[in-house]
Amino acid sequence: MQARRVTGGRRKVVSVSEITGMESDVVSMQDVFVFEKQGVSPEGRTLGVFTATGIRPKFAERLRAAGFDLPSNMFDQTSNHRK
């Protein structure tokens, strides 16, 4: 997870990524969800939505095997997740 200070001074998670590998001292990652800013509320809070990037993370199968049944469309790029 990556957090950043947004409008209004608060910290907000702006992406959820998966580490996909490592070669030497270089870490490879891919974003699974990203926060898309849509504006600022009258109170000064950042408004937006989390959207899936369309990449199905490698860990999804391990979660299913452990008994966590995620919705099949959770990682579809067209699926928005309100935050």
Per residue in 18-51, pLDDT (tens digit) is 998 999 999 999 999 999 999 999 988 899 998 9
* Threshold 0.85, pTM exceeds: no
pLDDT at 83: 43
Q: 79 near 53, Cβ under 8 Å?
A: no
Structure tokens at 52: 């899936």
Burial zone of 61 (CB within 10 Å; 0-12 exposed, 13-18 middle, 19+ buried)? exposed
Q: Domains of the chain: which residue ranges?
A: 2-82
CA atoms of 29 and 20, how far apart (whole Å): 5
Q: How sure is the predictor about 53, in pLDDT bands with cuts at 50, 70 and 90?
A: very high
pLDDT at 82: 46
On average, the pLDDT of the chain sits at 87
Structure tokens at 59: 């860990």
